Amino acid sequence: MANLSKMTRKQLEKLIKDAHKALKIIENKERREAKKAAAAAAAKFGFKLDELTTGTAPGPKRTPKTAPKKPREPKYANPTDPKQTWSGMGRQPGWYRDALAAGVDPKTMEI
């Protein structure tokens, strides 16, 4: 093993580069061995490895069911037009920002 503290920067960079190459080679070898072992295990049960890994197995596809979002109850109403409301979530509507700029207290706009 080399004494790292006595190596130059270029030597250390080369060592790192060589180590990355060696690591990649070992990783690829282990990946091939793992695939062989997985294929052997799949064959033991009568399958091919790609049948188990590509998602082509027979059967119904499941789609996640999400509940529809419920609209939020309005929390604020426009003092000049009560039909315009805002739940207090998301971007503030223009009428709300204008009312705040005019000095209206937000509590007075609550429903």
Burial of 99 (0-12, 13-18, 19+ CB in 10 A): buried
Q: For the chain, how many residues are written?
A: 111
Residue 93 CB partners (closer than 8 Å, separation 6+): 78, 84, 86
42 in Cβ contact with 48 (< 8 Å)? yes
Report which of 79, 75, 74 is spatially closest to residue 99, judged by C-alpha positions: 79
Would you say 74 and 86 are in contact if contact means Cβ atoms under 8 Å apart? yes
Q: What is the pLDDT of residues 59-92, one digit of tens each?
A: 666 777 888 888 889 999 998 898 999 999 999 9
pTM: 0.42
